[in-house]
Amino acid sequence: MVELASLKPQKSCNVFDLAEQAGFDVGDWIASSTDKRGHKANPKYCYEWSFTEPGKVVIFNLWYQNMLHENGLIKQRGNFRADAASHRGPNGKTQWRTRATRLDNALQAALIGNLPIRVIVVDGKQRDKTDPNKSTEASKVRKRELDPEPWTLTAYDMATGKFELTRGILDQEFVDQFDMDQLAKSGPKKIETSSSAYYRDPKVRKAVLRRANGMCELCGAKGFEMAGGAVYLETHHVIPLADRGDDDVFNVAALCPNDHRRAHYAQRKDDIQQELLALLRQLRISNERLRQRVVNSD
């Protein structure tokens, strides 16, 4: 079990170095620099709360003070969309609203686009949001370090922006039929199923299950809870792999078992396929829009 205290940053590393280390392309950070202290102090980047490299990685700056230790896991919960909304109004700070919105968009981009998540843990004097006299005083970061472990977006509510990030790669919260096949195969009886004929990237299946957040993407019903508490849904390639459908998150839907069978055998299976294709097309469009929004452009 990892102690929360081991995450407390001890060094005051440069954001530039940490972002670069985590896989963010710092080319524009250098190219757009106008600060005489050099590109590492580029104000376009160095005060940002998140960095998104489309198709590659999302980096979040998270306060050590806001992390929790729960059931052996390190988590952070919050809502940057609500945070952004709180910066509207007469005393609101535009740049904080922009940064909070960008962070909320980056969470969505990570979820929809299945991007790895890295965290820069920051420590120092955090802005006091509760005291109206001090709530416009900026936070002061004194220490920051890149967490060597990747994180997982374990919950995100598209409607409200509420999120939960958990340290580590967490896959067991949501399971599908292939996880169950794995379990069956590791037991004494070997079970061969036709569904294992094509290779399916487990990362894609897991990303789709996380995106669905336990609800069938066709009917909205919650998948059933298994004995260990994980939620079960089935992953379905909308254009079958046999028909050269892609094994990516924009061709896979998470469905309740009943809808999954319907997608294969129902009289109106073609309608179901069209409905799912429309849903995935919409997600692809959202993903493209997010790509535009999350890049640090102003």
Residues that bind Zn ion (CB under 5 A): 216, 218-219, 221, 256, 259
Of 169 and 219, which has the nearer Cβ to Zn ion? Answer: 219
Q: What's 158's DSSP letter?
A: T
109 versus 218: smaller Cβ distance to Zn ion? 218
- The whole-angstrom separation of Cα 162 and Cα 76 is 11
- Residue closer to Zn ion (CB basis): 200 or 261: 261
Give least dist CB 252 to Zn ion, A.
Answer: 15
Interior/surface letters 11-27, b for 16+ CB within 10 angstroms, e for the rest: eeeebbebbbebebebe
Rounded Cα distance, 30 and 39, in Å = 5
Positive or negative torsion for Cα 107, 111, 113, 114: positive
Q: With respect to Zn ion, which residue has the nearer C-beta, 266 or 285?
A: 266
Q: For residue 234, give both structure tokens.
A: 């089935």
Q: Bridge partners of 254?
A: 235
- Min CB(81)–Zn ion separation in Å: 27
Length of the chain: 298
- CA dist 13 and 35 (Å) reads 19
Q: H or E element: which one contains 80?
A: helix 80-86
Nearer to Zn ion, 119 or 280 (CB): 280
Q: Which is nearer to Zn ion, 221 or 277 (CB)?
A: 221
End-to-end CA distance of the chain: 41
- Give the nearest distance from C-beta 220 to Zn ion in angstroms: 7
- For residue 217, the minimal CB distance to Zn ion (Å) is 8
Taking the complex as a whole, the smallest distance from the CB of residue 246 to Zn ion amounts, in Å, to 22
Minimum distance of Zn ion from residue 249's CB (angstroms): 19
